[in-house]
Amino acid sequence: MHYQAHAKVNIFLKIVGKRGNYHELLSRFMIVPSLWDTLSFIPKKSTEAFELVGEFNCALEHNTLYRIFEVLKTQGFGKEVERVMSEYALHVKKNIPTGSGLGGGSSDAATFLKMLNERANLGLERDEMMRIGSDVGADVAFFVSGYESANVSGIGEVVEKFDESALDIEVFTPPLACNTALVYKTYREYFLQSMDQALALNMVDLKSTELLKGFSKEALNDLFPACLKAYPELGAYAKEGWFFSGSGSSFFRIRAK
């Protein structure tokens, strides 16, 4: 059985505060119906405790999928998930680019969490999976929620459904991967003083179509100027009518009819 792990875009993303070493945000996340990674369990060929099949650019111990496996073990489900992963390898077909601001790693992690919950009969409710997912990555809780659109706050752990269907989103990703840590570091150094909580609070009540019609990409995403500062070559891809997702590098718009 194949499972789809959809991409997301940030309709808006506003930095509204700091919590220790993290930035608190207020953002509208929306699923991209036309873009997803595909995950599946396949018969295992190795004797490794956790076999992952796919193209990844990080060490296994840093992969969000492996971290889901490890976190579930710390939550008391070691025997159950180890039994599943002793029989199966996890196969991932990547379509969501890395370093694109589309949440591919978090979406994969959320989908794998749901797969293990089902296959290992863990009996976890959605809220429990959202809490576990938050221990792995800031965006995982949104993808676990199953919402098409949501206002996300805190450091990503607070997810509130927004009553609208996902738009028909067209995504363009330049041949450039943005490092999230570098983008946030650049924001702290050059743009932290520009936080506008009042504007962010106004945005949460507006429909996504209203936001995209009423604001520029610069006003909608606080990280866009920081990303341009860190990656000046990104400016060549910043076309009129396209908006910027997350910490980059992807642009998006409503697909033309």
User: So which residues are the catalytic ones?
Assistant: 8, 139
Instruction: Calculate the CA 152 to chain-centre distance.
Output: 11
Could you give the CA distance from residue 16 to residue 196 in angstroms, rounded to a whole number? 7
Could you give the CA distance from residue 36 to residue 254 in angstroms, rounded to a whole number? 17
Instruction: Strands of the chain (E only): list them.
Output: 2-19, 22-43, 52-53, 88-93, 149-154, 158-161, 169-172, 243-244, 251-254
- Contact in structure between 135 and 165 (CB atoms under 8 Å): no
- Contact in structure between 42 and 18 (CB atoms under 8 Å): no
